[in-house]
Amino acid sequence: MSIILQPLTCSSCGAPLKSRERDRMLICEHCGSLSLFSGGKTDKVSFAIAKPTVESESPLFYVPFWVVNADIGVSHEKISGGGISRAICGQKQMRGNRDFYICAADAIPEEFSRVWNMDLTVNQPQFTLIPEFKDGSRIVLTMDSETAKNNAEFIFLRYETEIPGTLQELEYDFSVNSTKVLYLPAYKKPTSYQLGV
């Protein structure tokens, strides 16, 4: 049996890269740029870092999220017993162009990441961006972009089934336009996690 090992190189400068365990985002020690490891090779990736807007005494770290931009078109929807409730409550609909936020770090327990994903996706927040991971450490990114795209569609479907009424039929088109990585500041509390935005 023979194994061929291919060295990973920086997508910006070509320098060799070292990998942290399971981290799909590799930082170049030579030029400082980040490369995405996917499909056995490294590629450039669009990423941004959000500035903390909440202060805390707890340690600051940056959680990676895939931001999946998609167009959603619903051609047919049949709801039993909830149409009026949706209108009265002013329930937001996921239609048209929207960003879906998918926590991409296994280090964050699902009980927190699941809530963050839905809250960020429904509320579509704006962030002030910063050029570096200031005063905190970067959490390992463990999810690939294809999984994030699937999770984005799942968030849409979950939202449709959880709002008032019983969803009986749904015909829709979910078209992904782009993906990028956004690091959001967060704090680890003794028994919980808190986003810092």
Tell me, yes or no, whether 76 and 57 share the same domain: yes
Tell me, yes or no, whether 37 and 98 share the same domain: no
Residue 2 lies in a domain: no
Q: Where are the alpha helices (DSSP H) in the chain?
A: 83-89, 110-123, 145-162
**pLDDT (tens digit, 9 = 90+) per residue, 171-186?**
889 999 999 999 999 9
Tell me, yes or no, whether 37 and 50 share the same domain: no
* Cα–Cα distance, 50 to 38 (Å, whole number): 24
Tell me, yes or no, whether 80 and 69 share the same domain: yes
Total residue length of the chain: 197
Average pLDDT, the chain: 84
Tell me, yes or no, whether 55 and 33 share the same domain: no
Tell me, yes or no, whether 110 and 141 share the same domain: yes
Residue 153 lies in a domain: yes
In one-letter notation, the amino acid at residue 123 is N
Residue 1 lies in a domain: no
Query: DSSP characters for 66-107?
Result: EEEEEEEEEEEEEEES-HHHHHHHT-----EEEEEEEE--TT
- Enclosing H/E stretch for 30: none
Count of structural domains, the chain: 2
CA angle (160, 126, 66) in 5-degree steps: 60
Tell me, yes or no, whether 40 and 68 share the same domain: no
**pLDDT (tens digit, 9 = 90+) per residue, 55-110?**
899 999 999 999 999 999 988 777 666 555 555 455 567 889 999 999 999 999 99
Average pLDDT over residues 103-132: 94
Tell me, yes or no, whether 103 and 78 share the same domain: yes
State which residues form the domain around 12.
7-44
pLDDT at 37 over 70: yes
Confidence of residue 4 (pLDDT cuts 50, 70, 90): very low
Tell me, yes or no, whether 161 and 94 share the same domain: yes
Residue 133 lies in a domain: yes
Around Cβ 31, how many Cβ atoms within 10 Å? 11
Tell me, yes or no, whether 184 and 103 share the same domain: yes
Average pLDDT over residues 52-57: 91
Confidence of residue 153 (pLDDT cuts 50, 70, 90): very high
Tell me, yes or no, whether 190 and 96 share the same domain: yes
Tell me, yes or no, whether 23 and 82 share the same domain: no
